[in-house]
Amino acid sequence: MATVETNEPEATRTGEVAETTERTETLPESLAGTAFVFVLGLFLTTFLFQNYQIPSASMEKTLLIGDHVVVDRTTLAPQGYPVGLVHYRDVRRGDIIVFVKPNPENPDLVLVKRAIGLPGDRIHLEHGFVYLNGVRQDEPQISMPGQDGDYGEDEYRDNFPHGTPRGTTELWAVDLQNYVQNGDLVVPQGKVFAMGDNRTGSLDSRFWGFVPRENIMGRPMFVYWSFITPADQQNKTGASNTVSWIVHELTHFVSDTRWSRTFHVVR
């Protein structure tokens, strides 16, 4: 009589119950796993991605006060990685850039603006409209003089670089005329001219000068959380104000979160 090979263990065939043992992770293994996750997270947030909160209205309506964004720190950063390890490209007109403000009085201030002009570009504004190399730009995302409560046209702000510089840094007020040719501001090599989308409420390259290429840290990718935040919140410093705001965020998380902006792609 032929027999069929079942490949079952003898204990199973005889009805015996096989015992299994579960291996417990040792303390050194647990610590090693935790350290790996920590190092990986540190690497990602230091070299590849970083999160920032938008504290002012200079980029409205593209970015709102209280938006928390993830910033790509590799694509536009100065090339410092081995070739092929990360994607890299140079800044393009229209890119939203995150950079260290070129101001010796406050060198650690990080700003976010839109790149308007690249080296060699000729720029001027007329009645709030940007003219790039003689062509008026179509910018539906920007605010114009007289909109959203603005008091109206400002000769220097809205017809840049004409008029008497107002609200500018002392260094830029003196240096500005060195870059004006036939009514246009000419962007020098190694620099970027940047402006906020809220043109009537943005302190940008019109007021403190060009952004050095090496100051650019990256570009915002998307909003991962947006919370309704007062415009003056950034001015409230001190431990008590910080604790009070954290409590407010916790107790109003559901009601004051702008849920429609979650994972909103920044363009």
Contact between 63 and 54 (Cβ < 8 Å): yes
What is the average pLDDT across 148-156?
A: 76
Is residue 113 among the annotated active site residues? Answer: yes
Domains recognised in the chain with CATH numbers: 51-265 (2.10.109.10)
| Band (36; pLDDT cuts 50, 70, 90) | very low
Residue 144's nearest CA partner among 199, 196, 207, 94 is 199
Instruction: Give the per-residue pLDDT at 11.
Output: 47
What is the average pLDDT across 210-230?
A: 94
Instruction: Give the per-residue pLDDT at 89.
Output: 86
Is residue 58 among the annotated active site residues? Answer: yes
**In 3-state terms, what secondary structure has residue 199?**
helix
Q: How far apart are CA 59 and CA 53, in angstroms?
A: 12
Tokens encoding 163: 């008029």
Catalytic entry in 30, 61, 101, 113: 113
The model's pTM: 0.78
Q: CA separation (Å) from 41 to 18, 24, 28, 50?
A: 42, 26, 20, 10
Q: What is the pLDDT of residues 162-213, one digit of tens each?
A: 988 888 888 899 999 999 999 999 999 999 999 999 999 999 999 999 999 9
- The mean pLDDT of the chain is 82
Q: How far apart are CA 13 and CA 8, in angstroms?
A: 7
Catalytic entry in 58, 143, 202, 205: 58
Tokens encoding 190: 């190694």
Q: What is the pLDDT of residues 58-101, one digit of tens each?
A: 999 899 999 999 999 888 876 555 545 567 789 999 999 999 99
Q: Which helix (H) or strand (E) holds 170?
A: helix 170-175
